[in-house]
Amino acid sequence: MSENVLQVDNLQVRYGGIEAVRGISFNVKAGEIVTLIGANGAGKSSTLRAISGLVRPGGGSIIFEGEDISGKNPTHIVSKGLMMVPEGRKIFPNLTVLENLKIGAYLRKDELEEDIAKVYEYFPRLKERSWQEGGTLSGGEQQMLAVGRALMGRPKLLMMDEPSLGLAPIVVQGIFEIIKQINSAGTTVLLIEQNANMALHVAHRAYVIENGKISMEGTGAELLNDEKVRAAYLGSTNK
């Protein structure tokens, strides 16, 4: 249970001359929900992009399931069982709902029926719309589709970049409920959120990122009760 699925050491990401991530270290253990919280531009998304292989890290190591995947191509990383729900959902608007799910399993060669049924169980709305084009769905439904699509890859680690962004509070609550369900069904989750309150409530452990560095870490409950975190990310009256 305490096995590290993901271990990031001294990760650096640079865009041109700008250092977006300046030596971040954290780990995610099997079965956990870990969240990285922080303000806009703190380096959260850059961290995820480096882990998923979209950008080449400037330094440091990313050990996933015992292999250093830093600088490897996204296809290799996906094939190892790391799926990402990208920021802004990014479903394929010109593919049907069903095709969007199938494309999440692009590298798999086995039968998908069971997985599709499981996704439809999590999100019955998607089943009703399975022949509709992804672009015709509402924002919340698109987020469900993006999560379902990632699950189709049978991830050992599911990374989510701001799943609450731009969604109504009630929809956000539904999404976080599902994240908990997915986790208790055995999938390890790395969650990135600006909505610190929600994220800290579902997470087992959390890291706070400021200016490209980890400034604090602890369990979700610890950070929820921390004075500084409450002042900076939750609003002092929020509990």
SS3 at position 152: coil
For another protein, the closer CB: 106 or 121: 106
For another protein, the closer CB: 107 or 117: 107
Residue with tokens 């330094």: 59
99 binds another protein (CB under 8 A): yes
| Of the candidate residues 52, 142, 164, 187, the single one contacting another protein (CB under 8 A) | 52
106 binds another protein (CB under 8 A): yes
The token pair at 113 is: 């029926």
Contact window for another protein (CB under 8 A) among 79-87, 113-121, 180-188, 217-225: 79-87
The token pair at 116 is: 């599709």
In the chain, % helix, strand, coil (3-state, to 5) comes to: 35, 30, 35
For another protein, the closer CB: 103 or 214: 103
For another protein, the closer CB: 104 or 140: 104
Amino acid sitting at position 108: R
Q: How far apart are CA 239 and CA 236, in angstroms?
A: 8
15 binds another protein (CB under 8 A): no
Q: How far apart are CA 26 and CA 188, in angstroms?
A: 15
Minimum CB distance to another protein, residue 89 (Å): 9
With 0-12 CB in 10 A as exposed, 13-18 as middle and 19+ as buried, what is 204?
Answer: middle
Minimum CB distance to another protein, residue 52 (Å): 6
Q: How far apart are CA 131 and CA 144, in angstroms?
A: 15
53 binds another protein (CB under 8 A): yes
* Interface contacts to another protein, rule CB under 8 A: 52-54, 74-75, 78-79, 83-84, 86, 90, 92-95, 99, 102-104, 106-107, 149, 153
